[in-house]
Chains A and B, each alone.
Chain A
């Protein structure tokens, strides 16, 4: 599978990464060599093999639906690049 420049640009858009011309060229090359290497996985017949997303047999670890103390609003906003009246302020969305 050869990644085209257009595909690399698409992936960058999905990942919300702005890339320079040079970066697009470099990443296209490097990603292709990594993917070429990863192609060896195709040698394995895994049709009847279950995927392992998680190694420990824990499922649906839940707790009681009881209100507990969490981080204060002050703490949550403490690292905000731009906070205003209890909100995170960002450039215009619409």
Chain B
């Protein structure tokens, strides 16, 4: 039996029944990483010693009669923008190449308390800016389904690791689609929770009003199990909602009869791959056969979401990344003559091209004389986009769309920044509105996974889980495994 192919829920049963130990399980994943990660490139740091130490602690406690919690002994990995005390956290940037946080992110602390095993830190686009993980300063992550293709981004390492059984689950972050798109590209489940449901304390900030942490998992059930641990109010994050946290597994019900699903026509964009369109139509048929009512609807301001996002996100990023000045942590350029020279050289040498581009754009959008025309305008458009969703949710329980216009593209295919940005067209509006959304495997195109996106009203993760679970339980896409080769297609 291949332990590494099992879900967290299945592994929990084995651990609780003492059929497998946490140490055995951890070794199985460390073996997989050794055997596969040269090809996949998901990991920036593998914490082998620490993982085995944690596993030994778990095994001792289980042997002493402690009951195994749902995630006790489960090996997982974290996107490298989540602070892990004592463990290098780089954000895939030269700026933080040797940065060792002196505290854990709240989600990291919660996962630790739940008895999970940390296998390591995962590759990403630098500072979470990108849609392919090609912007990493350190490594190239390949799509396990076809090694010539990107895994998506910015949580590409997280999606690839879960897809390739190099971790049971991973945590990623999503600012414009960075959990959902790589999840879709790699055939795993990726949830972006409602803004404020998961604490951002210890997540290295990109755009503070858009960023959210979420799980990438093999199954919908595993996603709910992880949310049960990481979600919930945190006093250390003043944007964290003081919510009554549900048991997310209560929503894993195989029943969507009479549920109303809207398909916004604006997301079926011009240039969408005909195979992606086919997968969407098949998914709609499946959902209808399962009793849901599926209708076309409209979110009229959709086309304005992209430009609004690239002004709001970059503006916030220019502010958040101002802290990287070589003074207190991170890279510092040598041979600077004075303080301003040090700032300029440090930032020029520490940041990659995409990061610099976004800082430039954001700085311009916020600068005197342009603030109203760009940043403030974008914030007003954001209100219109949010209103579109509010209006749609008055009629529909969930909205359905593709995750992206195409499956995973090839390395170097989207060299023009604007064409890379345009591939995020389906995921970005969700972050502007702050609503929850989930990516679920729904088929294949040219041998690569295609995900569908379900969007819900604020705090409706439960409804998303219900639809996602029903869809998953009545299809087989989540049972297919990648070949870990570079096929010709």
Which A residues fall within an 8 A CB radius of B?
A: 1, 3, 7-8, 10-12, 14-19, 23, 27, 30-31, 33-35, 37-42, 44, 46, 49-56, 58, 61, 63, 71, 75-76, 78-82, 88, 90-93
Separation of A14 and B417 alpha carbons in the complex (Å): 23
A residues near B383, Cβ cutoff 8 Å: 46, 49-52
- Smallest CB separation, B458 vs chain A (Å): 8
Most buried by B among A11, A23, A33, A50: A11
- Residue pair B382, A91 in contact (C-beta under 8 Å): no
Shortest distance in angstroms between B134's beta carbon and chain A's nearest beta carbon?
A: 16
Q: For chains A and B in complex, what number of residue pairs have CB atoms within 8 angstroms? A: 164
Pick the most buried of B98, B337, B351, B367: most chain A CB atoms within 10 A of its CB.
B367
Of the candidates B357, B364, B386, the one having the most CB atoms from chain A within 10 angstroms of its own CB is B364
By a CB distance below 8 angstroms, the chain B residues around A52 are 379-380, 382-383, 386
Report whether A54 and B357 are in contact in the complex, using a CB–CB cutoff of 8 Å. no
A82 to B342, CA, bound (A): 13
Residues of A within 8 A of B489 (CB): none
Cα-based distance from A78 to B195 in the complex (angstroms): 32
- Of the A-B pairs whose beta carbons lie under 8 Å apart in the complex, a sample of 12, sorted by A's number, is A16-B325, A16-B343, A17-B351, A41-B307, A46-B383, A46-B384, A49-B383, A51-B382, A55-B386, A76-B102, A79-B100, A88-B328
A41-B308, A52-B382 known; A78 vs B325 contact (CB < 8 Å): no
Residue of B nearest to A39 (CB): B307
Task: Select one of B307, B342, B382, B386 contacting A40, CB under 8 A.
Answer: B307
- Quick check: A82 and B338 within 8 Å, CB to CB? no
Q: Once the chains bind, are B377 and A75 in contact (CB under 8 Å)?
A: no
| A6 CB to nearest B CB, Å | 13
Q: Tell me, in angstroms, the Cα distance from A41 to B241 when the chains sit together.
A: 31
Within 8 A of A (CB), among B94-135: 98-100, 102-103
Q: Does B310 contact A (CB under 8 A)?
A: yes
The answer to whether B360 touches A17, judged by C-beta atoms less than 8 angstroms apart, is yes
- Contact between B380 and A40 (Cβ–Cβ < 8 Å)? no
Cβ-based interface call for B72 (8 A): no
> How distant is A71 from chain B, measured CB to nearest CB, in Å?
6
B377 & A41 in contact (Cβ 8 Å cutoff):
yes
Do A54 and B209 touch across chains, with their CB atoms under 8 A apart? yes
CB neighbours of B329 from chain A (8 A): 79-81
CB B351 to nearest CB in A, in angstroms, measures 8
B310, B318, B383, B386: most-surrounded residue (chain A CB, <10 A):
B383
- Per-position contact with A for B150-177: 1 when CB-CB < 8 Å, else 0? 0000000000000000000000000000
Q: Mark B346-379, 1 if CB is under 8 A from A, else 0.
A: 0110010000110111011001000001101111
Kindly state the separation between the CA atoms of A90 and B339 in the bound complex, as whole angstroms.
Answer: 7
A19 to chain B: closest residue by CB: B348
Partner of B241, one of A10, A33, A56, A91: A56
Q: Which of A34, A55, A91, A92 contacts B418 (CB 8 A)?
A: A34
CB distance from A49 to the nearest CB of B (A): 4
A55 and B168 alpha carbons, distance in the complex (Å): 32
B381 close to A81 (CB less than 8 A): no
Binary A-proximity of B221-244 (CB < 8 A = 1, otherwise 0): 000000000000001001101000
B482 within 8 A of A: no
How far, in Å, is A37 (CB) from chain B's closest CB? 6
Given contacts A41-B307, A51-B379, A91-B339, contact A16 B386 (CB under 8 A): no
Q: Could you tell me the distance in whole angstroms from the C-beta of A88 to the nearest C-beta in chain B?
A: 5
Q: Are B417 and A78 in contact (CB under 8 A)?
A: no
Contacts of B351 in A (CB 8 A): 17
9 shortest A-B CB distances, which residue pairs? Answer: A55-B434, A51-B379, A79-B329, A81-B332, A46-B380, A75-B102, A18-B344, A38-B307, A61-B238
Residues of chain A with a CB closer than 8 A to B421's CB: 34
Complex CA–CA separation, A72 to B1 (angstroms): 48
Answer whether residue B35 sits at the interface, using C-beta atoms and an 8 A cutoff: no
Which residue from chain B places its CB closest to the CB of A26 in the assembled complex?
A: B353
Complex Cα distance, B229 from A50, in Å, reads 36
**Does B380 lie within 8 Å of A90, measured CB to CB?**
no
Q: How far is the CA of A94 from the CA of B345 in the complex (A)?
A: 18
Contact B360 A90 (CB under 8 A): no
For A61, the chain B residues whose CB sits under 8 A away are: 238-239
* Given known A34-B310, A41-B378, contact A56–B326 (CB-CB < 8 A): no
Residues of A within 8 A of B376 (CB): 51
Residues of B within 8 A of A51 (CB): 376, 379-380, 382-383
- Whether A90 contacts B345 by the Cβ 8 Å rule is no
B336 within 8 A of A: yes
- Asked whether, in the complex, the Cβ of A37 is within 8 Å of the Cβ of B418, the reply is yes
